[in-house]
Amino acid sequence: ITTHSGLFELGLTPRLSVSGEYIYDAIAGETPIGSPPLPGSDQVATFKMKDQRQAGNIKFGYELGRHKLSPQIAYSSESDYESVGLSLSDAIQLNEKNTLLTLGVAHSFDRILPNGGTFIDRIEKKDTTDIFIGVNQILGKHTHVTANLTLGYSQGYLADPYKGVVFEDFPFFPPFPYTVFGEKRPANKFRQVAHFGINHYWQQIDSGIEASYRFYHDSFGITAHTAHLSLSKTFLDRITIEPM
């Protein structure tokens, strides 16, 4: 995989700024497609692939009183996928700037394109909407906490177009002792992600402590818990050790 990227950020007026990014990816390799080895072989079926992706986004920031509005548009294109994304967020300063409330909404229009090695023969579509609310609160000069919640809903083609499912009891064509169909996942997915974090400076040992917990659940039946704890200690003003 080779990746090249560039970005810019520019202040147009004291209240208005613009930033953007461009990414170019090139990939070449070989990937399993889900089929088992043929009789007498230990090599699973694979598909050789190479692809190029070009993506970019542009984002504006506009300060209006306590609000900072940030609309963004993003685009990504490759041989088997195309995506257009729109988003808008508002960061609101409260409580003498000790509290930052962030609200956001995003929607992406995706198209999955037929390509060599895929199990689809027509263009499939997928739409995804995310709603975000987050709070960053300063509790004192040594401590601040963050908490946020994301609700997401996807509709359309949610399967992996390169992934097959093997049926050994289905009519097949020699020399393959099985038939492979493209996987089918539900056409709707609702997910919920909650995150809580705290950063604290422990003055007695001159160290920073960071702790966080993330909860994930979706309508596919996946539940995930992720916990993080780290301590950062600096020695001689040049060396930092961070057990985690």
Q: Specify the pLDDT at position 219.
A: 97
**Could you tell me which of 116, 118, 110, 112 has the C-alpha nearest to residue 85?**
110
Mean pLDDT score, 75-98: 96
Q: For strand 99-112 and strand 164-167, is the pairing parallel, antiparallel, or unpaired?
A: unpaired
Question: What confidence category does residue 116 fall into, taking pLDDT thresholds of 50, 70 and 90?
Answer: confident
Q: Specify the pLDDT at position 50.
A: 87
**Could you tell me which of 54, 48, 47, 46 has the C-alpha nearest to residue 2?**
54
Q: Specify the pLDDT at position 47.
A: 79
Neighbouring residues of 180: CB distance < 8 A, sequence distance ≥ 6: 33, 34, 35, 164, 165, 166, 167
**Farthest-apart Cα atoms in the chain, separation:** 74
Q: Specify the pLDDT at position 170.
A: 73
Q: Is the pLDDT of residue 225 over 90?
A: yes
Distance CA 167, CA 182 (A): 11
Q: Is the pLDDT of residue 90 over 90?
A: yes
Q: For residue 186, how many C-alpha atoms fall within 13 Å in the half-sphere facing its CB?
A: 9
Query: Other C-beta atoms within 10 Å of 61: how many?
Result: 19
Q: Is the pLDDT of residue 124 over 80?
A: yes
Distance CA 225, CA 230 (A): 17
The answer to whether the CB of 29 falls within 8 A of the CB of 38 is no
Choose the weakest-confidence range: 12-16, 47-51, 73-77, 111-115.
Answer: 47-51
Distance CA 108, CA 103 (A): 17
Mean pLDDT score, 8-29: 96
pTM: 0.83
- Give me the residue label for tokens 């598909």: 47
Mean pLDDT score, 158-165: 89
Q: Specify the pLDDT at position 8.
A: 97
Distance CA 156, CA 184 (A): 11
Dig out the tokens for 42 from the structure: 């230990």
CA distances, 39 to each of 164, 177, 215, 218 (Å): 18, 8, 44, 39
Dig out the tokens for 86 from the structure: 């729109």
Question: What confidence category does residue 167 fall into, taking pLDDT thresholds of 50, 70 and 90?
Answer: confident
Q: Specify the pLDDT at position 43.
A: 86
Q: Specify the pLDDT at position 206.
A: 87
Q: Is the pLDDT of residue 223 over 90?
A: yes
Looking at every residue in the chain, the average pLDDT score rounds to 93
Query: Which one-letter amino acid corresponds to residue 158?
Result: L
More confident residue, 175 or 194: 194
More confident residue, 34 or 230: 230
